[in-house]
Amino acid sequence: MERVRLGIMGGTFNPIHLGHLMIAEEARQVFDLEQVLFIPSYMTPNKEVHGATAQQRLEMTRLATADNPYFMVSDLEMHRQGPSYTVDTIHYLQDHYGDRYSFYFISGTDTIQDLHNWNQPEEILRLCHVIGATRPDGTAGIDPVIESFGDLGKHILRLPVPTMDISSTELRRRLQTGRSVRYMIPPPVLDYIRKNGIYQCTVQN
């Protein structure tokens, strides 16, 4: 029996931007994924998160994905609370969806470069595929990481995408200093940021 392929787009999404949406859509089509489940982290391991609350990051993710019938949003990491370890999320999804499904965790190549520092990376690679979409930040060369995992390395998949030099860090800076973020953040997300005064936003439109 062929398994249904489900994409998992994990992220801090502080805020969500077109880079995230673009790699999720590319992964969906290239790997023939039935749907992509966006899962905003409650507490991202190894990262300090400032600016928006977890609930606001979840809401922005909902607004950004609402117009794509292949995208869904899950609040499972919000409910679990504590550090959002991916291995726990994949275990939960396996229990929840059963073995009719196979999972594809979508990420950028910077994330792949850091995989050895994650909680139980080998277990993650046993449970799912991890997709590394090219990021124009010098992290594209993931072959050494793939090799370092031995046989499990075959579960890391390369995804060449049109590189987009956008990051949430740069967007937070722009929002605070009034530089335009148009064409980088979906309009409903920018509206939400302005209405709720997130990131000390001074952008007018």
Ligand X SMILES: Nc1ncnc2c1ncn2[C@@H]1O[C@H](COP(=O)(O)OP(=O)(O)OP(=O)(O)O)[C@@H](O)[C@H]1O
Of ligand NCN, ligand X, none, which one sits near residue 131, judging by CB under 5 to 8 A according to partner kind? Answer: none
Distance of closest approach, residue 89 Cβ to ligand NCN, in angstroms: 7
Answer yes or no whether residue 166 interacts with ligand X by CB under 6 A: yes
| 133 contributes a contact to ligand X by CB under 6 A | yes
Which three-class secondary structure state does DSSP give residue 79? helix
What is the distance between the alpha carbons of residues 68 and 60, in angstroms, rounded to a whole number? 14
Euclidean distance between CA atoms 205 and 187, whole angstroms: 9
Q: Are 84 and 43 in contact (CB under 8 A)?
A: yes
Among residue numbers 136 through 165, which ones bind ligand X (CB under 6 A)? 164
C-alpha to C-alpha distances, 138 to 25, 67, 117, nearest whole angstrom: 22, 32, 19
Looking at this protein, which amino acid is placed at residue 24? A
The residue within the footprint of ligand X, chosen from 75, 88, 110, 122 (CB under 6 A), is 110
Q: Out of 56, 65, 74, 86, point to the residue binding ligand NCN (CB under 6 A).
A: 86
Q: Which of residues 17-46 bind ligand NCN (CB under 6 A)?
A: 41, 44-46
Binding site for ligand NCN (CB under 6 A): 10-12, 41, 44-47, 84-87, 107, 111, 118-119
